[in-house]
A and B are shown apart, each in its own frame.
Chain A
Amino acid sequence: MATKMFRSHILMCAGTACVSCGTFKVRARLEKELKDRGLDEEVKVVITGCNGFCAEGPIAVVYPEGIFYGHLKPEYMAEIVQEHILKGRPVPKYFYKEPVKKEAIPRMKDIPFFGLQVLRVLRNRGLINPESIEEYIAKDGYVALHKALTQMTPEQIIAEMKESGLRGRGGAGFPTGDKWEESRKYNRFPKYVICNGDEGDPGAFMDRSVLEADPHAVLEGMAICARSIDSHEGYLYVRAEYPLAIKRLNLAIEQGRNLGVLGKDIFGTGFDFDAYVYPGAGAFVCGESTALMYSLEGKRGMPRAKPPRSAEAGLWGMPTVLNNVETFANVPQILINGAKWFNSLGTEKSKGTKVFSLAGSVNNIGLVEVPMGISMRSIVFDIGEGIKGGKKFKAAQLGGPSGGFVPEHLLDTPVDYDSLEATGAIMGSGGIVICDEATCMVDSARFFTAFCVDESCGKCVPCRIGLSVMLKKLENIVGGKGQEGDVEFLDDLGRHIVRMSHCGLGQSAPNPVLSTIRHFRQEYDEHIRDKHCRSLVCTPLIRFEVKEEKCKMCGLCMKACPSNAVTWEKKKPAQINKDLCTKCKSCIRACRFWAIE
């Protein structure tokens, strides 16, 4: 039987970012406008997972033309339905506008943000309804699992994974095939498959988007892994802050069980596999594999020493494979298209694509998937289309609190595990936060260190006490109390913590400090010697004085000041009365000429 046909589909992004901007209000109005014009039988409104272009949300894409509308509001819908859907005249004023020349670009595939991406993990994003297993199957869903169960031995699956060169997408980059092979060696049962969806890095949202847009791909990847190591039980550890991802996963699991691609005797092959979602309670350290497993067992989430590796003794002491969401989402396509297809993209040691969440001071904030080996410059300036408000680029922060900063002169570094490590940053799970000239590097280092101090589990001394000492020093520096030798002290202590900490959190926590010292030493020296913060972020180091030679006498600072501390007359430089000034920095944000220091 044919399913009902519609002449047009309107795909609305219902990722977390768009939903929080009002997708569902827009949808309600859209459906009403369609119904009022009798179009509801001709046009279908489909809710999808994250489209990726979060900066433009709420988003709708109208097919078959592929017209992209961004920043939608309920009141726009009448016009769009009347003009575009009914009369076939797309409405240019709601198109995406290219940030520099402000040219409207109607078609999604012509927008540079989308044009330069290679979608593999995200191939179904914004294209299928994540709450419909049928739509996933229409995109060759569960064919890979069928192949794994009927045409391949576990050894062949592992060989294919090894040949593909897929490395763990959680950040450390351990070869996935090797991990599975290791786990297969142990003849102790039951074994477990765990999907790590405890995405904790500030500014990272790759895993959330994959889970929200294509939950079945992750489940299929887990089931294939289970087959290769002979496991029958899987857990998805997803942080509780991702309610939509958890909801969709649970729905996907239920649909999978009902259809028979999960549960007992899958495809009649006698192979059983079932998966369960476990919401994480919100500790950053639980993204560390051993801590995560303790948390799953109901214990306090604290890392333990390795070896033994999880592949040998993981959950409840049994052999366990733990991979990241994105890693599992890659698996079905490797089996369908082959290892050679997968490793045709990428660099020598980093194959395939990587999903990044692009955030911070960049024009196009969103989720991007690019081939390994693309330059950082291309991500920031071609896909991201440059820095917001015409400011200057200062650094790209990769890998969150465990990562580092890539400065401008290293922007041509290819994005792969090894090249990034050489710059002092890491691939990490894929969070990229772009910093412009108004970001203070010392203060950023302080921010990440404070984050790690909060999240340290306290088990080992270097991390628990060492990081606190580092934080104290950094607070002194940004507070204007820095002393000669502080930088050397931080560098030395940081290296000790890296070397001596127990788990990945502590071993990488000093990275933001070490990498800013390496690339932005001058800023530290200015803070300490000149008591000056060039980015005008560290309040105690700002004098709140107007530099007359830079002041254009526009009066914006006066209008911005909430405490009437700024006096200004036409054609005269502004002045700040320090007795009234509360140091709120409103004037600095308002000034376009860096005239207040």
Chain B
Amino acid sequence: MAKLSIEDLKKIKESVQASVTLREGGYRAKVNIHMGTCGIASGARQLMTAVMDEIQKRDVKDVIVTTSGCAGLCSREPMITVELLGEAPVKYVDLNADKMREIFAEHVLGGKPVEKYALAVGSETTF
């Protein structure tokens, strides 16, 4: 058997790092999926599955996904709030899984809010 090297240690470290980072609060972006009764009924669950799938597929390590209750705009669910560290949070409305993937690619990873789905740039920072 080949001997363990410092590179192997680094590889192991990188592969597990994401889970440990989650526990240390070292993240860059937060995707908050509104999972009130209204959100769940209108399909928030598909958004969750989509975003987790994207994170997994792209091997993203600095984005966390949280849930929250109803934001008070039940007719426009499912909704999410995307918050990049140091920037104002953006609320998106009337989503589905495809739109979610688009927002993930352009806003969460690309840093550019997707205006066509956005409701407002709010001030409810949660970082």
Q: Which residues does A use to contact B, with CB under 8 Å?
A: 1-9, 11, 38, 41-42, 44, 63-66, 85-89, 127-128, 132, 134-135, 137-140, 142-143, 146, 150, 259-261, 265-268
A135 to B24 CA separation, bound complex (whole angstroms): 13
**Which chain B residues border A143 with CB–CB below 8 Å?**
6, 9
Please pick, from A2, A44, A134, A137, the residue contacting B59 in the complex, using a CB distance under 8 A.
Answer: A2
* Contact in complex: B16, A7 (CB < 8 Å): no
> Which of B's residues lie within 8 Å of A, judged by CB?
1, 3-6, 9, 12-13, 15-20, 22-25, 27, 30, 32-36, 40, 45, 48, 52, 55-56, 59, 64-69
Cα A260 to Cα B24 in complex, Å, equals: 28
A146 touches B9 (CB 8 A): yes
Residues on A with beta carbons closer than 8 Å to the beta carbon of B35: 86-88
A-B interface contact total, Cβ < 8 Å: 107
Contacts A63-B22, A143-B9; is A5 near B68 (CB within 8 Å)? no
A134-B15 contact given A7-B48, A265-B3, CB 8 Å threshold: yes
* B12 & A87 in contact (Cβ 8 Å cutoff): no
Q: What's the minimum C-beta distance from A137 to chain B, rounded to whole angstroms?
A: 5
Inter-subunit contact A64/B64 (CB<8 Å) = yes
| Across-interface contacts of A9 in B (CB, < 8 A) | 19, 22-23
Minimum CB–CB distance for B63 against chain A, Å: 9
Contacts of A2 in B (CB 8 A): 15, 18, 56, 59
Judging by beta carbons under 8 Å apart, are A7 and B9 in contact? Answer: no
B19 → chain A closest CB, angstroms: 7
The answer to whether A87 and B16 have CB atoms under 8 Å apart is: no
Within the complex, the shortest CB–CB distance from A33 to chain B, in Å, comes to 15
B19–A89 touching, CB < 8 Å: no
> Is A3 a contact partner of B19 (Cβ separation < 8 A)?
yes
B23 touches A11 (CB 8 A): yes
- Identify B13's interface contact among A87, A88, A138, A260, CB under 8 A: A138
B56 touches A4 (CB 8 A): yes
Is there an interface contact between B27 and A3, defined as CB atoms closer than 8 Å? no
Neighbouring B residues of A41 by C-beta, 8 Å: 52
A65 to B4, CA, bound (A): 36
State in angstroms the CA–CA spacing of A4 and B56 once bound together.
7
Return A262 CB to nearest CB of chain B, in Å: 10
Q: Which residues of B contact A44 (CB under 8 A)?
A: 19
Does the CB pair A134–B4 fall under 8 Å? no
Min CB distance, B85 to chain A, in Å?
13
- The interface residues of chain A lying within 8 Å CB-to-CB of B56 are 2, 4-5
The answer to whether B55 and A5 have CB atoms under 8 Å apart is yes
Residues on the A chain within 8 Å of B55, using CB: 5
A415-B83 Cα distance, complex, nearest whole Å: 44
27 interchain pairs, CB-CB under 8 A: A1-B15, A2-B15, A2-B59, A3-B16, A5-B55, A7-B52, A8-B66, A64-B25, A64-B27, A64-B30, A64-B64, A66-B25, A85-B67, A86-B67, A88-B66, A88-B68, A89-B68, A128-B20, A137-B9, A137-B13, A138-B17, A138-B19, A138-B20, A143-B6, A143-B9, A266-B3, A267-B4
